[in-house]
Structure 1
Amino acid sequence: MKATSPATNNLRKKDSIPGLDIFEKAYRDYFTRLELYAASILAEDEATDVVQDVFLYMWNNIEEFTKYSSVYAYLRRMVYCQCVDQIRHNRIAEKYISEQLYVSDSIRNDVDLTVSYRELERIYNNILEEMPPKRRDVYVLQQTTELSLADISLRMNISVKTVDCHLANARKTLRQKLISYQSR
């Protein structure tokens, strides 16, 4: 029995993989050309990734490539399709990112509105506290219930004209103080 060297064993293993010579020739002859082609469509780093993915596919499906008379044309078409897929993916990613930015801006605006509302509510309550008690009571009663001026006058034992005067003065005070706050 003849002894074999490790190099001979490697050659036998290499010869036992069908289509390996096709892959090696394609990789050696076409990788750079395909990378330049992909770089004409995509950014350079994306182009390299696309070409590597195409050759990985070729390696995993080498039997399929033994059928083609022009491996380069098939690889070039695969690179083109992968580039188109990458462009679509980039557009979807950009759209998603812009939507997320819009949502985060909306949330930020909602928070700003909530803070502004709370601040306005605090100012409103402070203005009400500064009003004379009868005026404040008439105004709050009119705002919180659906009572008519006559009903409010009966409930508070004052004339309808006084209720009307309290409401007018309360609105005037609120308007003036809110305007002065807004101009700050």
Structure 2
Amino acid sequence: MSVYGKYTDAKLLDLLSKDDQQAYTEIFNRYCKLLINHAYKILQNQDEANDIVQDVFLAIWNKRKDLNISGALSSYLYRATKNKILNHIAHEKVVLRYADSISGFMENDYAFADLNQREEELQIIIAKEIESLPQKMREIFILRKLEELSYDEIANQLNISDKTAKQQVYNALKKLKEKINPFLVVLMFKI
């Protein structure tokens, strides 16, 4: 066991902010397997779980000089992993729903030139707009529209009122509609 294994998380974070790669390695070794197991329980896909956790640790390394973690490092890592998982699930479900709607059009013999390019453009725009929502609004929106939880379930899970959950979803839909509608109009004229 190296001397780094004896350091507290706070000491490791301090060393990490000073570009200490061994501190980073110790944090990685200390939490990587736990986070992958956590991600796997939710995603049920080992490759996706590994990718999510790798992204979390990459972000920590890239932000090492600016990290300001109040509270336990483990809590921060679990929260970061959870947010990455929610974003991943949102992106996957949006892509699947859009692909299903495109399939419906194609079954009706609609001709689409540049279909793949337009599909990719819309996927990117939708994912970007969901990502740009404020964190709490994004989380509530994902739980309601993508994970299809009821407002009561969301309220219980996040310890908020169901009215707050409804208002957040309404606000999110309004923002998304404002951002996405102009693109859809342009897309329709290209067809």
TM-score (norm 2): 0.45
Larger radius of gyration: 1
TM-score (norm 1): 0.46
